[in-house]
A and B are shown apart, each in its own frame.
Chain A
């Protein structure tokens, strides 16, 4: 049962990944793209966690944790740039 759910979930996350990428490439505005990148981060976290469950390995979780942390800061920096241009002021 779990394996079916995992496979389905993985397929859906993969689809979300592809869609996020589409938004990232299409835009049209820069905020769209930044949001798309942020969604891509979240999709990746989901992907890693699901994959970790399926492989029964904990190593994937740390990568997911780091993406969660680093992705936020990356998005923050990009947004700050949009707002002010100067990110450290």
Chain B
């Protein structure tokens, strides 16, 4: 099961996107092949599920936390897998003809496979949390698919709304799942489904139910959250056929079915689920009739049918659940084919407005027959699949009515919905294929390509086969799926066309006759609806709400991170001080922790004084930016001295290297900035000074309090384990490249991304620098003073030697890849400084991306290497060697990793600094020409 999900979710999308480079149709072939491969991978499990087994597959992950990858395939899962893969395959075939040459096939199929994998994950999950993750993935994939035509604002808005609603529902669902998992004592579905009694008796049952239902209703577009679905119709039609009829919106009802044994059977369940279902059924059916957009009609009809399924689960009897499962199957087949037919019509007419497309029978009779049969199934006409499940539904409504006060209202409402369903189905048939001639189309409609109709044909044949021979075609699957839902004994039922003159039969007759008469008398109704529709609908209101939410969020963000740095610092400092003060007052501990203090010496006093004075001078002289930068250089220098003094040589070396890189970086930026801070004094200067002083004193006291007490730290463990466990005497380095190597891998990845991001942002930027310095002196004409140029060339090999030295011995003594990388980068930047870009680029590669790539690959490969020896990722090994001349030497695999770190740091630092430097090529016109020639 894992294999199938991995194939579609992880392997498939990049594969088809890549295949699309070699011709757009390859993407379709690739997507089809991936789907078939997933089906093949699932085949044995599917056969088992068909035989009624419940299959579990557990892949240990974080077992200690109760988190494993845990999959489950039973009858219900089987049904959904068939829907997802079967209809998925048809949609892939259909979309190959639907998409025009302007649409990117690779992107489409990549998204589609992403969705398919996520959906498989939802229906195959045994663990609730895992299910939720896949659930959210379907929302994200749906967002990408709805907004596939990114240039259209309706597509973007529709996608955003769908994501906002289903995302909010997902959040509620998470809450519900957490409650449910705590009640059942496990997040495994097997346990949850078996502990229905205790869950229903739990005091938190109602809040849990409401939260889960919020997730279900948003996903399955139940009233009052239904409004996102019609607007999601901005998606390409294959997407609507797949996601918004057959699969994703079914995820909600899937969950109802899945949790049916655990949650159903209480009055809360009946009222909430049944109530929402009934209202949705009615609203959807009524509104569908008045849609002029073909897909709009289908969208509201989908809402209505989802309401029907929800209502069935809400009724709560086993037979109703069976009917619900049956209708899931039937609705998926006829609605997917109807969407595809609508797509064909849209494709051939260039419009979906039923007021303009009429009389298509003459132009595309083949498509018309298919659409008419599917429509009739939607209306519930006998001999088609929709009729069977609808009659079961009517029977259940009558059955439920006997147990309610004013119970007759339920069958009445249901019949009314049935009447509207017949009416809108009739409209789809009559308005499109007859009712005069097409109006104002820019082309003459004709039949679509042969293979575009094949998926529709297959689905329509299924509708007919199920409708005529239900007991042969669908009953085995239905029984297996329903037993998966009920997890218990099956009620007896028979799928037959004729059940005698039952009340359900009469309701069907009333619905058919009433629907036809309603459609004939539709003109006055349309007028009334047009007047009503002028009022803002749910979607408009929700849209405005969302817009206002964005504005509000923006205002809050601006409050906390204002454009002006002092305000930001003010908030951060005030907040930190409040927290620290509250903590300190509550703890009531002594300031002096009882450790004996070290004796004071002259040297310590002098360095501390230098540090303090330099810092104060920086603050006083901050208006002259270059001066402030020089003073900051002194501050950094003394800080590194203090690191040396207090036995942190690694830190000192890092600080020294970072210091120079920062000076270079700031100088590069300073060139484009005003040299003087404005003279105006802030009216708040006294307040700001006070707060700064308080914060400084607080920090000093806190540091003193921490340093003056014996703390229990984890450093003892690392000190003991560094040599025996990591093969290195330098604990800092062993932690970086071995114990916490995975963190470091993440950090260098971030560094690489940041460098590439900066490169991307600076690409093509040309800035004009000032002609003269802050005192009005023109720049010196001597670009590269020979003394400096010569000296720096001499210094380069020495600097590289130092960096190699620091890199090689990093595992044993202070040093390591990060420091060595900075030294190399600075030494190379020095060549750019002293000898110029043209000279350096003639000797060094212009491009530094490959360094980053090489470093990241090396670090990752070192990590993967340990997998070859059946150890977890990034396990380090080391060997004690005796080298002639050098002596004893520990050679650790972590040193290779460190080499990767080194390369990434060199590449990233060079990439950033040099590209910022190149930003103002234009201010040096004579040089630029020469450089371009090089």
Verify A63–B652 contact, CB threshold 8 A. Answer: yes
Closest to A82 in B: B773
Q: Which of B656, B671, B792 contacts A66 (CB 8 A)?
A: B656
State whether B664 touches A77 (Cβ < 8 A): yes
Residues in B823-846 with C-beta less than 8 Å from chain A: 823, 826-827, 829-830, 832-834, 836-837
A71 to B660, CA, bound (A): 8
- CB contacts (< 8 Å) of A73 on chain B: these are 660, 664, 826-827, 829-830, 833
The reply on B641 being an interface residue by CB < 8 A is: yes
Chain A residues near B924 (CB-CB < 8 A): 86, 89
In the complex, the answer to whether A76 meets B792 with C-beta atoms within 8 Å is yes
* A63-B656, A88-B829 as given contacts; A47 in contact with B641, CB under 8 Å: yes
B603/A88 in contact, CB under 8 A = no
B644 engages A60 (CB within 8 Å): yes
A65 touches B833 (CB 8 A): no
Contact of B671 among A60, A69, A79, A86 (CB under 8 A): A86
B644 touches A21 (CB 8 A): no
Closest-CB distance, B784 to chain A (whole angstroms): 9
Given contacts A81-B626, A89-B924, contact A70 B660 (CB under 8 A): yes
Contact at B627–A30, with CB atoms within 8 Å? yes
Known: A37-B634, A70-B657. A25 touches B617 (CB 8 A): yes
Contact B668 A88 (CB under 8 A): yes
Contact of B657 with A59 in the complex, beta carbons under 8 Å: no
Q: B644 and A89: CB pair below 8 A?
A: no
Q: Inside 8 A of B447's CB, which chain A residues have their CB?
A: none
Do A47 and B603 touch (CB < 8 A)?
yes
Which residue of B630, B631, B918 has the most chain A CB atoms within 10 A of its CB atom?
A: B630
Q: How far is the CA of A27 from the CA of B627 in the complex (A)?
A: 9
Chain A's nearest CB lies how many Å from the CB of B409?
Answer: 81
Per-residue 0/1 for A11-33: is the Cβ within 8 Å of any B Cβ (1 yes, 0 no)?
Answer: 10010011001001101001001
Q: How far is the CA of A71 from the CA of B814 in the complex (A)?
A: 20
Answer whether residue B753 sits at the interface, using C-beta atoms and an 8 A cutoff.
no
Given A69-B799, A88-B917: A21 touches B833 (CB 8 Å cut-off) = no
The residue that B769 contacts in the complex, of A11, A82, A85, with Cβ under 8 A, is: A85
CB pair A62–B829 under 8 Å, yes or no, is no
Given contacts A25-B631, A87-B667, contact A74 B660 (CB under 8 A): yes
B635 to chain A, nearest CB (A): 11
Could you mark each residue 90-101 of chain B with 1 if its beta carbon is under 8 Å from any beta carbon of chain A, else 0?
A: 000000000000
Interface hits, A6-57 → B, CB 8 Å: 10-11, 14, 17-18, 21, 24-25, 27, 30, 33-34, 36-37, 40-41, 44, 47-48, 51
Asked if A81 contacts B667 (CB within 8 A), the reply is yes
A83 CB–B CB distance under 8 Å: yes
Taking a contact as CB atoms closer than 8 A, the residue among B617, B626, B641 that contacts A48 in the complex is B641
Is the pair A63, B653 in contact by a Cβ cutoff of 8 Å? Answer: yes
Contact B913–A88 (Cβ < 8 Å): yes
- B546 interface contact, C-beta 8 A: no
Residues of A within 8 A of B920 (CB): 86, 89
Asked if residues A76 and B834 are in contact (CB atoms below 8 Å), the reply is: yes
Residues in A with CB closer than 8 Å to B638 are 44
Which B residues lie within 8 Å of A33 (CB)? 627, 630-631
* Tier of interface size on chain B: 35 or more
Closest to A30 in B: B626
A88 to B671, CA, bound (A): 11
A25 touches B610 (CB 8 A): no
Complex CA gap A84/B913 in Å reads 17
Residues on the B chain within 8 Å of A89, using CB: 783, 836-837, 917, 920, 924, 927
Evaluate whether A63 and B649 lie within 8 angstroms (CB atoms) in the complex, with A41-B637, A47-B603 already known: yes
**In the bound complex, CA of A60 to CA of B670 (Å):** 34
Q: Is the CB of A88 within 8 A of B832?
A: yes
Confirm or deny: B659 has a beta carbon within 8 angstroms of a beta carbon on chain A: yes
Contacts of A18 in B (CB 8 A): 606, 609-610
Q: In the complex, are the beta carbons of A78 and B833 less than 8 A apart? A: no
- Measured in the bound complex, the distance between the Cα atoms of B814 and A10 in whole Å is 25
- A: number of interface residues (CB 8 Å): 47
Any A CB within 8 A of the CB of B345: no
**Contact between B602 and A25 (Cβ–Cβ < 8 Å)?**
no
Q: Do B640 and A37 touch across chains, with their CB atoms under 8 A apart? A: no
Chain A's closest residue to B798 (CB) is A69
B783 to chain A, nearest CB (A): 7
Residues of A near B659 (CB, < 8 A) are 70, 74
Neighbouring A residues of B631 by C-beta, 8 Å: 24-25, 33
Complex contacts, A37 vs chain B, CB 8 Å: 630, 633-634
Is B613 an interface position by the 8 A CB rule? Answer: yes
Q: Contacts of B609 on A, CB cut-off 8 Å?
A: 18
Contact A11 B649 (CB under 8 A): no
- With A18-B606, A63-B640, A66-B823 known to touch, is A88 a contact of B833 (CB < 8 Å)? yes
A18 CA / B156 CA spacing, docked (Å):
64
Shortest distance between the CB of A60 and any CB in chain B (Å): 6
Q: Does B338 belong to the interface (CB within 8 Å)?
A: no
- B513 contacts the other chain (CB 8 A): no
The answer to whether A21 and B657 have CB atoms under 8 Å apart is: no
A73, chain B: closest CB distance, angstroms: 5
Contacting A at CB under 8 A, from B101-138, are none
Q: Which residue of A lies closest to B614 (CB)?
A: A21
Q: Given the known A-B contacts A37-B630, A51-B603, are A67 and B613 also in contact in the complex, defined by CB atoms under 8 Å?
A: no
Residue of B645, B660, B664, B769 near A86 (CB, 8 A) is B769
Q: Which of A69, A76, A78, A83 contacts B630 (CB 8 A)?
A: A78
Question: Shortest Cβ distance from B129 into chain A, in angstroms?
Answer: 50
* Interface residue from A47, A78, A84 paired with B780 (Cβ < 8 Å): A84
> What B residues does A76 contact at CB under 8 A?
788, 792, 830, 833-834
Q: How far is the CA of A83 from the CA of B606 in the complex (A)?
A: 34
B614 close to A81 (CB less than 8 A): no
Interface contact B799-A87, CB-CB below 8 Å? no
Report Cα–Cα, A70/B614, bound state, in Å: 19
List the A side residues contacting B637 at CB < 8 Å: 40-41, 44, 67, 71
Which residue on A lies nearest to B610, using beta carbons? A21
Given known pairs A40-B637, A47-B641, the reply for A87 and B649 (CB within 8 Å) is: no
- Selected from B634, B779, B837, the residue in CB contact (under 8 A) with A24 is B634
Tell me whether B191 is interfacial, beta carbon within 8 Å.
no
Kindly state whether residue B591 has any CB partner on chain A within 8 Å. no
* Chain B positions within 8 Å of A10 at CB level: 602-603
Q: Check A84/B783 contact, CB under 8 A, given A44-B641, A69-B802.
A: yes
Asked if B795 is an interface residue, CB under 8 A from chain A, the answer is: yes
Q: Smallest CB–CB gap between B825 and chain A, Å? A: 11
CB <8 Å contact, A21 and B613? yes
CB-CB under 8 A from A77, the residues of chain B are 660, 663-664, 667, 833
Asked if B788 and A24 make an inter-chain contact with CB atoms under 8 angstroms apart, the answer reads no
| A14 nearest in chain B by CB position | B606
Knowing A24-B614, A62-B814, A72-B795 are in contact, say whether A83-B779 is a contact too (CB < 8 A). Answer: yes
Further 14 A-B residue pairs, CB within 8 A, beyond A69-B799, A69-B802, A73-B827: A17-B606, A37-B633, A66-B653, A66-B657, A69-B827, A73-B660, A74-B633, A74-B659, A80-B834, A83-B780, A86-B671, A87-B833, A88-B914, A89-B924
Task: List the 10 closest pairs (A to B, CB-CB), nearest first.
Answer: A88-B917, A14-B606, A83-B780, A25-B617, A70-B660, A33-B630, A88-B832, A74-B660, A81-B667, A63-B644
A–B complex contacts, Cβ < 8 Å, 8 sampled: A25-B621, A33-B631, A59-B644, A73-B830, A77-B660, A79-B788, A83-B785, A86-B917
Residues of B within 8 A of A (CB): 602-603, 606-607, 609-610, 613-614, 617, 621, 626-627, 629-631, 633-634, 637-638, 640-641, 644-645, 649, 652-653, 656-657, 659-660, 663-664, 667-668, 670-671, 769-770, 773, 779-780, 782-783, 785, 788, 792, 795, 798-799, 802, 806, 813-815, 823, 826-827, 829-830, 832-834, 836-837, 913-914, 916-918, 920, 923-924, 927
Which A residues lie at the B interface, using CB under 8 A? Answer: 10-11, 14, 17-18, 21, 24-25, 27, 30, 33-34, 36-37, 40-41, 44, 47-48, 51, 59-60, 62-63, 65-67, 69-74, 76-89
